[in-house]
Chains A and B, each alone.
Chain A
């Protein structure tokens, strides 16, 4: 079966920049630019990196029922989210497993929900299934807009310069309107790399212009175009979950260590009863971080052993460019002693690893 891959408004610019394009979540996206994933990763840690994240779902919720719809589907207490702020949270199934992890932005007259690219259509259907007619309008704006992420210690300086505004005063998870090239853009001080940074939503004409302009100040500030590979290794170093790996329709957020993103005080949301039960009784599995003692690349679904006993499986693994070590996350039996030695079976060979605290690299905000 072949389906037409979606293309971002910035597609042609990626080709011009020499990006290598791959299919991802139904989109054709840059996995890397000529600099390569490791260099791109390090640029974000030390200067600034620019990502096209137009594949992420952008759903606009409007109407008298919008807040109560979000209250019902989200694990966070949305009535506490002030206008002009964004919040990270989960949408859970009744059994407590995960529909998606999302960012919700309170815009006053409407709400903006940012989904994983792979879950855009699923979340849209989920929301529509849980709203009564006429109470909430849900519009999918993903295909008519662009979204960029500028991340890294120099991100604030670069964007302040381009927009001729001091963004240093803006707090993390704040959201505000800006202007670029005579067009309104929406900015949030958010990101998924463990570095300070911004995510920018704009129309599909402004998208490529903004992308090009931000790279144009490369000589001064070192803004590097970055692909999916760097995005994945950056989030892994900080232990941030990726849908389909650390969270999914088979994994609960409590197993993934995301209890902090669940507001149990909120009386009624889908999944609450199951999650409350898990929270009281404990979960059979939990996510651990590990580092290879022997070399070898731990990949998702590699088995984890303690002695001869299989105790879990790897959900994500990679070489950390910051630490220069092979690291990974694994979903293991909750009774696994964090002090014990483990092995990871890579290509039929069990290699020594040790359990280490997550995050591997602490976020810098």
Chain B
């Protein structure tokens, strides 16, 4: 009998041996109980480890993992973040650089940026969850200095996840997040606007993969962002608009 090859012991346990090598090792194991015991123990380890971790395969995959996107998307997110930083630093808001449309364009961009930053978040998508909706709305209303409402989108299949306070060029910004059964997320971005109160029409902006509908109502700008087709988002945006302007 030739000496035992340790690699064969593992190959035997893991099913990587040819039939002939397996038969040869069987002969050895019948004669050497200590090695046979090792083989039994290793095989048992395999079985135990599998029964420990195989259940993970049956768990639903978190939406945020399904939302991880190919690179073009990420390049956009980085560019948008740089833009947002510029806005935050005031580069775009000093008088001589302000083009008339900047304020409007920026809410769509800022909203899309905030969307791509928080919507894929697994652990902390929101600061305050929908369980404390009253507190959330009261808190954000207080910070923005107006009476906010979180639209009810359940009839469209979107449940409120919660919301968070963000900082924008005009100070505090409220973000509400919604999610449907498939984990698709929408965010509603509400910020105070510069200048005189005014109303604008519904506008649409495609920020790479994020579609944004935005409008200004008095002193506040609203932007609804989602990674979906324009028409699909429009349905939701109309409901949001109606609920906020009854």
| Bound together | no
